[in-house]
Amino acid sequence: MAGGLAVLGTITVDGAYAHYALGIVLTALGCGIATPLLSEAIMNALPPERAGVGSGLQSLAREFGSALGIAVAGSLITATFTARLPASLGGGGDPPSTPAAALAAPGGEGAEPAIVQAFTDAIGHTMPVLAGLVTAAAVTLVRWFPRES
């Protein structure tokens, strides 16, 4: 998963779609491999009569992780995107926080290349951070996970 996020962090404005697709596929593959393994580990750690607790813990971890990941990624992308937008799009107030809003803002149509570049820069700065966080979480999990004797 971290590898896919790292690949996504290297996307450029004029990059090939195959590069983007590779990052998405690697990220999805990592998530698809990790999810059932972690689910099995949670369920096997508890006696059968506590399966409901394990299922609830699994759902909590998945939902909390998703919400936290979206919050962190969204905050980093938005902060970088708005910081890199042309000053003319701020209009003295809050700058637009999405590419669509930036394009719809007064002067946005003429600034399309700068808006696309700002968004690409935001992705390029955020994805390596997320890759590092995923790697740190994986290392922590591997070190913390009990070993079978």
pLDDT tens-digit profile, the chain (149 residues): 999 999 999 999 999 999 999 999 999 999 999 888 888 888 888 888 988 988 898 889 889 989 999 999 999 999 999 999 988 886 567 889 999 999 998 888 889 999 999 999 999 999 999 999 999 999 998 888 777 65
* Sequence spans of domains, the chain: 1-45, 51-148
Q: What is the reported pTM? A: 0.84
- What is the DSSP secondary structure assignment for residue 94, as one 8-state letter? P
Q: How far apart are CA 88 and CA 108, in angstroms?
A: 9
Using the CB atoms, write b or e for 11-29: b if 16+ within 10 Å.
beeeeeeeeeebbeebbee
Burial of 122: CB neighbours in 10 Å, binned 0-12, 13-18, 19+: buried
Secondary structure of 21-44 as H, E, C letters: HHHHHHHHHHHHHHHHHHHHHHHH
